[in-house]
Structure 1
Amino acid sequence: MKKFLIPLCLFFAVAAHSQDDLLKSIDSSQVEESYSTATFKALQLVTLQTTKMPAKKEFYFVVSHRFGTVKDGLDSFFGLDNATTKLGGIYGVTDWLSVSLSRHTLNKMYETGAKYRMARQDAHFPVDIVGYSVADINTFLEEDQYPGLESKHRMTYVQQLLISRKISQKLSLELVPSFIHKNLYNPELENDNQFSFGGGGRYKITKRLSVNLEYMHNFDNPGFYENPLSVGLDVETGGHVFQLIFTNSQSMSESGYLTNASGEWNKGDFFFGFNLYRVF
């Protein structure tokens, strides 16, 4: 547990130090309400959500792909033969609340979510805090494989707290504690309740280009599952953000990404993909 407390302490130490410097630079007689902006340019870091929120009445159309593992080489054309797709939409109900709905071809899963802002980084508060609640429905499960299967067993719930800090104009960091509950419990594979902790960051290379990195550690992790580790590249092109992705998890749902990463980076077992967001 120490190895997770140390980066957590460093994160808030940097935030506190930066906050002190910021406050010193402000004339106490002329304090203005000014929130930090553009901490992240995309709604996702790589697969994890960021603290960025859609504006009120803003609609995002989402198209995501994860191809198969590249380790099979030309046999699967480096994974391009085994693509999975996510299609969805995100709507800003207010400036602090958005709702989402998506369909994933992997496990024929439907996913609905709500994202809500709880606090914003400004001269008086060091971080952005956003809650993210998700419910998944796995329609791929068959009764002949799971006798006694009921509708409730198809459900998985994820609750996350997104805590981010814009360190500078180029660097932003985020911490993400997550709780996952699966109604379908298989004692040979996993616990029905799982907790993971991690996060990542974004580093701006140019005005329209940034590199992103994220990692999550599962505290209830079966030996044959890996901890998700992903790297991405954000490309801003006018009305949308295009994200190129390399990850050890093919799943694009929150629950699948956090608990079912199968690839091993050191063996060349990882997946290429992309996220595309179009704003209306």
Structure 2
Amino acid sequence: MIMKKKYFYTILFFSSWSFGQEDLLKEIDTVQSKKSVEISPPAFKALQIVTGQSTKLVSKNEWYIVIAHRFGDVSTGFKDFFGLDAASTKLGAIYGVTDGISVSLSRETNMKTFELGAKYRLLQQSDHFPVDVVGYNVIAANTQFSKDTYPNLRFSDRLSYLSQVLISRRVSDQFSVQLTPSYVHKNLYEPTIEGKNQFLTGLGGRYKISKRVSVNAEYFVNYDNHSFYKNPLSLGMDVETGGHIFQLVFSNSRLNSDIGYLTNVVGNWGKGNIYFGFNLYRVF
């Protein structure tokens, strides 16, 4: 009778231990499955698709130096050496506060515009979510405005603002696409040719043709009821060369600043008003 009890308790102990192990393994598997979210690589290699911003962000504690250059109208021909005699330059710096937040400061020669920007990740593409969502905000100061032209000019009149939601998807290793709803507010504007508040929608994409080269395109529709300025249309090419990315640009906009590029376009692709240039990003 005593031996039977011993066998009974031994079997009970090993059965309980076995079931406990199975429950523990199931719990570990559940925890692992919850943590194994696969984050997709960035949809774009460069911080800009062409001139408009992409969902790419600067990594934490990284510094980027930005040099953007736009030459004159190529349709002027040999007289201005196909636009090379005229140029507009933007110099800037970008710092990664965290992996998901960066700040930037730049200055463009055209309109002598300073821009202070912030870019921040809201959502990230993964096997559980279909897109990257990034916010982008800019405040710009046009220091070219003169009191000789505007006698009652105040500092606030020089300011304009941009808010964008960048929504991108890496469709495949070769192809990425982005939708960019945008809003621009200008404190000083000419009502006969533009509105104080302007809404735009941008569509851009990137197609990788080799390990280090891709072709890019972007187009913005401005819903402002003006007749003077055009919608920006740009084509480009990304070339990765070691520590920096070099972008060749063909656009109907000569401006490099975010707000100027979106709302002050004068070139017409149909008439050959194209501005050639480049963007150069160097990381430190």
TM-score computed with the length of structure 2 as normaliser: 0.87
Q: Hey, what does 2:236 align to over in structure 1?
A: 232
**In structure 2, how many angstroms separate the alpha carbons of the residues matched to 1:40 and 1:112?**
22
Superposed, 1:61-210 pairs within 5 Å as 61-210=65-214
What amino acid is the match of 1:267?
Answer: K
**In structure 2, how many angstroms separate the alpha carbons of the residues matched to 1:223 and 1:80?**
29
Q: Hey, what does 2:251 align to over in structure 1?
A: 247
**Segment of structure 1 superposing worse, 141-150 or 61-70:** 141-150
**In structure 2, how many angstroms separate the alpha carbons of the residues matched to 1:162 and 1:38?**
13
Deviations 1:51-82 (CA, angstroms, capped at 9, x unpaired): 01111001100001000100101111111111
What amino acid is the match of 2:65?
Answer: F
Q: What RMSD, in angstroms, separates the aligned Cα atoms of the two structures? A: 1.4
Q: Hey, what does 2:61 align to over in structure 1?
A: 57
Say which one has the larger Rg: 2
Q: Hey, what does 1:23 align to over in structure 2?
A: none
The answer to whether the 8 A contact 2:193-2:229 is kept is no
Q: Secondary structure at the match of 2:144?
A: coil
The answer to whether the 8 A contact 1:232-1:244 is kept is yes
Q: Hey, what does 2:262 align to over in structure 1?
A: 258
Q: Hey, what does 1:12 align to over in structure 2?
A: none
Shift of 1:272: 0.1
**In structure 2, how many angstroms separate the alpha carbons of the residues matched to 1:215 and 1:265?**
12
The answer to whether the 8 A contact 1:221-1:259 is kept is no
Q: Secondary structure at the match of 1:266?
A: helix
**Segment of structure 1 superposing worse, 165-174 or 138-147:** 138-147
Deviations 1:120-168 (CA, angstroms, capped at 9, x unpaired): 0001110000000001100001112123111000001000000000000
The structure 2 residue matched to 1:45, chosen from 37, 46, 49, is 49
| Structure 2, unpaired ranges of 5+ | 1-29
| Structure 1, unpaired ranges of 5+ | 1-27
What amino acid is the match of 1:71?
Answer: S
Shift of 1:254: 1.1
Shift of 1:38: 3.2
The answer to whether the 8 A contact 1:157-1:180 is kept is yes
Q: Secondary structure at the match of 1:185?
A: coil
Runs of 4+ in 1 over 4 A off after TM superposition: 28-31
**In structure 2, how many angstroms separate the alpha carbons of the residues matched to 1:190 and 1:217?**
14
**In structure 1, how many angstroms separate the alpha carbons of the residues matched to 2:281 and 2:91?**
10
What amino acid is the match of 1:121?
Answer: Q
The answer to whether the 8 A contact 2:193-2:227 is kept is no
**In structure 2, how many angstroms separate the alpha carbons of the residues matched to 1:79 and 1:143?**
31
Shift of 1:225: 1.0
Shift of 1:212: 0.2
The 1:221–1:255 alpha-carbon spacing in structure 2 relative to 1, beyond 3 Å, is farther
**In structure 1, how many angstroms separate the alpha carbons of the residues matched to 2:140 and 2:225?**
20
Deviations 1:198-229 (CA, angstroms, capped at 9, x unpaired): 22100000000000000000000421211000
**In structure 2, how many angstroms separate the alpha carbons of the residues matched to 1:33 and 1:55?**
20
What amino acid is the match of 1:114?
Answer: A
**Segment of structure 1 superposing worse, 216-225 or 30-39:** 30-39
Q: Secondary structure at the match of 2:114?
A: strand
Q: Sequence identity, in percent?
A: 57
